[in-house]
Structure 1
Amino acid sequence: MTGSGASAPATSGGPAPADRLVSRPEIARLAKVKRPAVTNWERRYAEYPAPVGGDPELFRAAEVLAWLSTRTVPANALLPGEPVGTTYGDRFRAGLGGTAGGLLRLVERLAGPEADRLRGGMPLDDYLGWLLRFVYEHIKDPDEGMAEELRRYAVMAPEHDYAQRVFPPGALPELFDTLGRTPVGSEQEARAAFDHILRRWRAEHAREGGAFLTPPSVSRVMAGALAAVRPGAVYVHDPYARVGELLVAYLDAVAAHGGGERPLISGRAPSPPERVAAVDNLQVHHGRMAWLGEATVSDDGLVTPALDPVGPPIGPPGFPETCDVLLTNPPFGRFPEDVSPPSYWKYGPARRIEFDWIQYAVSRLAPDGRAAVLMPAGAASNSGAAEAVRGGLVEAGAVECVIALPPALFTLTAVRTHIWFLRAPGSGGTPAPDVLFVDGGHLGHQVTRTQRALSDDDIGQLVGEYVSWHTSLTGGSSFTGTPGLSRPVSVPDIVAHGHSLDPVQHVRPVGPASAVPGAGPTETRERLARLGEEIEALHQRVAAADAEVLRWFRRYGL
């Protein structure tokens, strides 16, 4: 799901009747989309509600409503008067004359208009973290969840004085009572309610210096590609799991491909609250248990694998030492000078922690294993130690593909990012003679004034290029790429360009001889318009950052 966490106001009326049936044309009319969009949803998403029969086929309106409530309308498709964050479910519900489902409507209120009253002096990110846990308990056990939480706090409060100290008087009983009286509804609505608070919590946590949530569209590219090129994975790992968003996205992608396997799942979270949220996230979305440890953190808050001389194990005792699929969005920055080089640095010394993470990821892959690591764009072309590590990885056959993503996908930062797709070197057959480069920097659409997101079609394009290239390799055919979007480049050519892994350089190099065929006036105008949008978005992000700095200055009386 994409969006800023804002939600459209509910309309008046009641929920969709449980026995109401709707046809595909009715769904399109109520959701205010064209008829082919409904067929596209059915084809793309395994979790889309199944028809219940009829000729033409009919669907339960309540199930369709719950599913559409998880799909945010892109900013460029909003109708006049619709706020950012409107979902197709809001439209569908309004067409039926109904309101948001009970639990989703409640958490939108508790995490929004009611938050300041209920949290008192508690920081907003702390309040949202607690609320997330309470909602999880309610989803897990609607009959006993809130009663159990209340009993737990009744026992804990006299001993630790914790609940009374953190929450304003009366707030906890009100929260428990309100949640306890609200039906959970369908699985789709439960997930939408949980995700709504999760997004709000992570956005606020990031403002206070915490880790960013991986944008859903980026998670879908990473997970969708790995699920397609490495089917049947037995063991999946995220060494910097944040709140489990990439692991959830991977299981979503496996389900969409029709996979029935249940891989072993493990990861490490950067803090105890994030570890709990990641475990809950996997439970709510897939009913899966996972082993999630806590990452080793230095005294100054740095998280990097080299803090362990041999790198942290990927699971508890008894788990495999390597995994079939690894996907992660690790932190980046300058590598500490007082940490000794770990044993897995096979490709060169790391002067920045992203090159520690990338070498650690490769070292933990099983034969025929695959990894997707989100990297800052600068890592693809920086000189010095960075070039040495890139050279070692490329010449060992560890790098399969690099995808450049559009700017402004993350909140509060305009750092450009790439996805590096890696393989275990020295196993799983002969390394590919080429590396595939995909330049998706021109894709995406504005979802807020300062943030972009990839559409379903954008995600399909990016994943499709990597999958097509991979399929051609395994099938013995050739893949020449798509002009202006992708291009396979030989290893000697990469070496000749300073081991640069920047897709922009390889897909759209400067010079008339390599210009994209057919780039006429219309395409040129479109590219200029996109550049104008990117520049405007960057200006807005600078203004937002300035406002945030002023907020912090005022907070400390400066």
Structure 2
Amino acid sequence: MGDFADVLVSRSDIARMAGVRRPAVTNWQRRHSDFPAPVDAGQGSTEPDAFRAGDVLEWLSGRTVPSNALRPEELPGVTYGDRFRAAIGGGDRAGGFRHAVERLARQEADALRGRLNTVEFLYLLLHLVYVRSRQQQRWSSYVADPVTVLQDVDLPRAAEVPLDRLVGALNGSPPPPQDEGRETFDGLLALLQDFDARTAAEFFTPASVSRVMARALATHSASVRRLHDPFCRTGELLTGYLDAVAVRGARAPQEVSGRAAYERALQLTRMNLVLRGVERPDVQPGFWTPSSGPADPPAAFDAVITNPPFALRLDPSVAPQDYWRYGVSRSGDFDWLQYVVTRLTEAGRAAVLMGAGAGFRGGFEGKARARMVQDGVVTCVMALPPGLFARTSIPTQIWFLRAPRGRAEPILFVDGGALGSMASRTRRVLTDDNVDDLVRAYESWTSRGVADQPGLARAAGLEEIEQHDFRLDPALYVKRDTLLDGSADPAETRGRLARLAEELERLREQADNVDRLARERLRRYGL
């Protein structure tokens, strides 16, 4: 950030250029120990504190503008650093490519998408951003003959997209630096999620959830050589992990791999990883449940991070699997959990996003949970608030796992069910402070054995967990407030709501499968 090394700014300057109110800057400084320190003005000075603009820019570049605070021309994923850079005079030096893409995706979209709907147009833009950023020879062929784009993107000619104008608009800016290309791609992915909640439910892990999973798992990054996601959506969890490792100054994994259940997810994951500097990501066709194969090698990965489909039911004809270490499964959730555990190396760790029902349902799942606890594979269960996903209100949990220990050990329970703020009438997001609190609770436990944080985190041993019939709902172990006489137990209420939400989720999955088949057939006929 050396462009502004000699420029000094006040708190009011920071607020104005970052587009926030003045008290927000004071709050940042008070809550975050890594906020830049003011320049020493000398003993007895009465001048307001001044900060080096380069230090401020670097700090703000790590803080994303919430979706409900975006300006009309801004893509999701823009940072306060982007605003600060443009306001202080860096707009001409950096960000030109990103601004061009923002115009195409927003103000000029209706004039340029032809007969494509907005979602299909954003997929096309994602491909063009990737090629412009990473494949200059291929880009040159697009400039020479824009129709060649159709060879790489599954678009019917009847779409009537003015490819010459699109390619020309992006060719007006030089190839973006790696950071800008990556940030532009991320912004389009976030915009895609906002525009198409139906597709978002299939594809996306909410950004704030990705940050919690990735940052927590990255606390074990020192020994990670192989990183894997067996159910990639757009690669957001893999790239989130790589970003978290980079922030920690740790060594990136030598091998990054994944599987994706359908072609579009496969393509987006590969592009996303390459833009993060992974030259040869190993992303292969995958499965909706591990028992439908193909399987990855056992004990192969040092870190696994994944958001598999929730609450699927296995066909009764599925044969018992070698990795069903904790019993025969007819539940997609425990098919996934057992699969992940058996893919870990001896020192391996995993973060798996699950519907909350996996933590309390009975029958086989209750027996499987008991065996997993007794084998020491569950290190932490972290409850997240409802409303984080675009099309479902199912409460979710992050299960942090490790390779079998052969003995029960205490489990950390983190109850974040009351966290977050409403980004819209129906969508909740975890704030940056929420993310920090959840990750800090996890790292305090795994690195120092410190667990008790009243109202947020607490560890429980085997005897207490057994008293709760091996239910792993954090609300059972972390008490937010003392209940009034006759009031409902929040854990029981949450369980009932989760069961209803899961039934709705199963019906939604059936409807989505029908919709997906219909879209594929219509696309074949150019409709």
How many residue pairs match? The answer is 480
Matching residue of 1:92: 84
Could you report, residue by residue, the CA deviation over 1:207-264 in whole angstroms, capped at 9, with x for unpaired residues?
2586131111111111111111353211111000111111111111111211034331
Question: Aligned runs of 1:90-169 on 2, under 5 Å?
Answer: 92=84, 95-96=87-88, 101-141=95-135, 144=137, 146-150=139-143, 154=147, 165-168=157-160
- AA of the residue aligned to 1:422: L
Contact 1:67 1:189 survives alignment (8 Å): no
Matching residue of 2:309: 331
- The answer for unaligned runs of 5 or more in structure 1 is 1-15, 297-302, 315-319, 474-478, 515-526
For residues 203 and 81 of structure 2, what CA distance do their matches in structure 1 show? 27
Q: CA deviation at 1:156?
A: 8.0
TM-score (norm 1): 0.74
Could you report, residue by residue, the CA deviation over 1:470-518 in whole angstroms, capped at 9, with x for unpaired residues?
2234xxxxx351111111111122122111000011112896699xxxx
Matching residue of 2:45: none
Q: CA deviation at 1:102?
A: 2.3
Q: CA deviation at 1:27?
A: 3.3
Instruction: Name the SS for the 1:382 alignment partner.
Output: coil
- The answer for unaligned runs of 5 or more in structure 2 is 43-49, 520-527
Could you report, residue by residue, the CA deviation over 1:339-386 in whole angstroms, capped at 9, with x for unpaired residues?
222111111222221111011000101001111100001111111121
Which of these residues, 383, 391, 395, is aligned with residue 416 of structure 1? 395
Matched, 1:223 2:194: no
Contact 1:66 1:189 survives alignment (8 Å): no
Q: CA deviation at 1:424?
A: 0.4
Question: Aligned runs of 1:29-428 on 2, under 5 Å?
Answer: 29-31=16-18, 32=20, 33-35=24-26, 37=28, 43=34, 58-60=52-54, 64=57, 68=61, 71-73=64-66, 75=68, 88-89=80-81, 92=84, 95-96=87-88, 101-141=95-135, 144=137, 146-150=139-143, 154=147, 165-168=157-160, 171-204=162-195, 206-208=197-199, 211-296=202-287, 303-308=288-293, 312-313=295-296, 321-332=299-310, 333-426=312-405
Contact 1:335 1:352 survives alignment (8 Å): yes
Contact 1:146 1:177 survives alignment (8 Å): no
Contact 1:206 1:212 survives alignment (8 Å): no
For residues 119 and 324 of structure 2, what CA distance do their matches in structure 1 show? 37
Matching residue of 2:8: 23
Matching residue of 2:524: none
For residues 443 and 30 of structure 2, what CA distance do their matches in structure 1 show? 23
Matching residue of 2:522: none
- AA of the residue aligned to 2:142: E
Instruction: Name the SS for the 2:231 alignment partner.
Output: coil
- AA of the residue aligned to 2:313: R
Matching residue of 1:12: none
Matched, 1:500 2:471: yes
For residues 355 and 397 of structure 1, what CA distance do their matches in structure 2 show? 16
For residues 34 and 278 of structure 2, what CA distance do their matches in structure 1 show? 24
Change in 2 beyond 3 A, CA 1:409/1:160: closer
Contact 2:384 2:395 survives alignment (8 Å): yes
For residues 357 and 216 of structure 1, what CA distance do their matches in structure 2 show? 22
Instruction: State the identity %.
Output: 36
Change in 2 beyond 3 A, CA 1:511/1:98: closer
Most deviating of 65-74 and 104-113: 65-74
Change in 2 beyond 3 A, CA 1:405/1:116: same
